[in-house]
Amino acid sequence: MSLNVEDLARANVRALTPYQSARRLGGKGDVWLNANEYPEAVPFTVNATALNRYPECQPQTVIARYAAYSGLNTDQVLVSRGADEGIELLIRAFCEPGKDAILFCPPTYGMYHVSAETIGVAYRTIKLRENWQLDLPAIAAHLDGVKLVYVCSPNNPTGNPLNPQDMHQLLEITRGKALVVADEAYIEFCPQATLASWINTYPHLVILRTLSKAFALAGLRCGFTLANNAVIALLLKVIAPYPLSTLVADIAAQALSEQGIAQMRQHVTALNDNRRYLLDALHSCDCVEQVFASEANYVLARFSASDTVFKSLSDQGIILRDQHKQPGLAGCIRISVGTRQECERLIAALQSLPGITHSRGQA
C-alpha cells in the first residue's frame, strides 16, 4: 500500500498557493528591478565569536535604537524575522482559526492572504477605490468577525500613501472591534506620512516596519512591529524564543546607529531622484499607457501589450514584477527604482522595443 503524504497534510495547506516571491519566480537577469530591494550592497562587519550562547529574544540595543528612531518607548517595539513575521504573529495572537477573519484591500501586498491561509484564518477583501484609497463604507459594512484590518501605506504595488483622514475614520469604525495594521514597509521614502505618533492615541493601531527596503538589508530578515505595549506583550507570547540570530541583531544595531540612519537617508534621497527620472522617462515611452505617482522605491505603470514588454525585457536580462493578475491592474508592471544606470538601461530597452505602438493619439 502506498502512502500519499499529501493526504496527511492539512486541507488548507494542500489548497495553498505559496507566496510568489521575486526570488521564487527566479529568472536570469543582471538588472533586478522586481523585489523593491536597495540596488547596491551596503557593507557591514560582524563579530562571530560568541555564538555558543543563545541570543536575546528581543536584543536590547536594537529595540532601544528602533524606539528612538521611531519616536516611541521601548515597550512599544517588537523585532522579528522581517515584517512578514510580524504579519503572521498578529494573526496567530488575535485570530481564532475557523471563527475570526482578517480584512485587506487589494491591489496590495500578497502576504496578508498567504499568512491567513497558512494559519487557516478566513480573509475578506474590500477593493481599493479607483484612486487607490480606502472604500470606508464598504469596510464598515464588512467588519463582522474581523479582528485585523491590514492596510499598506505607501501601498505596494500602487505606490500611494493612504489619506490620513481616512485612517482616522478607519480607526474610529474599528474601535473596540479590530486592530488596524498599517504596513509602513516603505515609509522611509515619505517619512512625513508615518502614523507612528498615533500609537499613543489609538490603542488598536499597529504599524509594521522593515530593514529590507530603505535600509538595504533584505537579506538580513529583520522587521519591526510598533504598537501599544499591551499588543506587544501579546505578540511576545507567541513569538519564537530566539527569533533573531546574534549576527542579525549585531548588523541591525549597526544599521540603526546614528551613522547608519544618516547613510540610509542619503540613499533615500538618491533613490527618490532616480524615481523622478524614471517617472518622467516612462511618460515618454510609446509602450506606456499610464504611470502612477509613487512615494516609494517603485513605480507602477500600465503598458500596451504588457506581456510582450515583460518577456522582451526579461530576455534582455531586465527583470520586473508583473502585476496584471491583481484586481484593477490589467496591463500593469511594477518597476523597482534601481541605480541611475539601471533606470537608464530600462528606459533604453523600452524605447527600442520593436513593433509595439501606442494607441493614444492615433486615429
Ligand X SMILES: *Cc1c(COP(=O)(O)O)cnc(C)c1O
Rounded to whole angstroms, the Cα distance separating 299 from 285 reads 14
Count of residues of this chain found to bind ligand X when the rule CB under 6 A is applied: 13
The DSSP symbol for 162 reads P
Give 110 or 317: the residue with its C-beta nearer to ligand X. Answer: 110
Residue closest to ligand X when measured from CB atoms: 82
Residue pair 159/292 in contact (Cβ under 8 Å)? The answer is yes
Give 150 or 310: the residue with its C-beta nearer to ligand X. Answer: 150
Residue pair 266/300 in contact (Cβ under 8 Å)? The answer is no
Q: List strand residue ranges (DSSP E) for 28-165, in order.
A: 31-32, 77-80, 101-104, 122-125, 146-152
Which position among 39, 59, 107, 223 is part of the footprint of ligand X (CB under 6 A)? 223
How far CA 276 is from CA of 26, 229, 271, in Å, comes to: 28, 39, 9
CB of 109 to ligand X, least distance (A): 4
**Judging by beta carbons within 10 Å of its beta carbon (0-12, 13-18, 19+), is residue 301 exposed, middle or buried?**
buried
Give 51 or 293: the residue with its C-beta nearer to ligand X. Answer: 293
**Which of these ranges, 4-12, 13-21, 210-218, 256-264, lies near ligand X under the rule CB under 6 A?**
210-218
**Which parts of 67-86 interact with ligand X (CB under 6 A)?**
82-84
CB of 75 to ligand X, least distance (A): 21
Q: Which residue has the cell 529590507?
A: 212
Contact flag: residue 156 with ligand X (CB under 6 A)? yes
Give 101 or 208: the residue with its C-beta nearer to ligand X. Answer: 208
Rounded to whole angstroms, the Cα distance separating 323 from 108 reads 10
Give 267 or 345: the residue with its C-beta nearer to ligand X. Answer: 267
Contact flag: residue 185 with ligand X (CB under 6 A)? yes
Which position among 104, 109, 189, 310 is part of the footprint of ligand X (CB under 6 A)? 109
**Which parts of 12-51 interact with ligand X (CB under 6 A)?**
36
Q: Are strands 298-303 and 288-291 parallel, antiparallel or unpaired?
A: antiparallel
Residue 172 CA to chain centroid, in angstroms? 25
Contact flag: residue 210 with ligand X (CB under 6 A)? yes
Which position among 212, 254, 274, 323 is part of the footprint of ligand X (CB under 6 A)? 212
Q: Name the residues that contact ligand X, by CB under 6 A.
A: 36, 82-84, 109, 152, 156, 183, 185, 210, 212, 218, 223
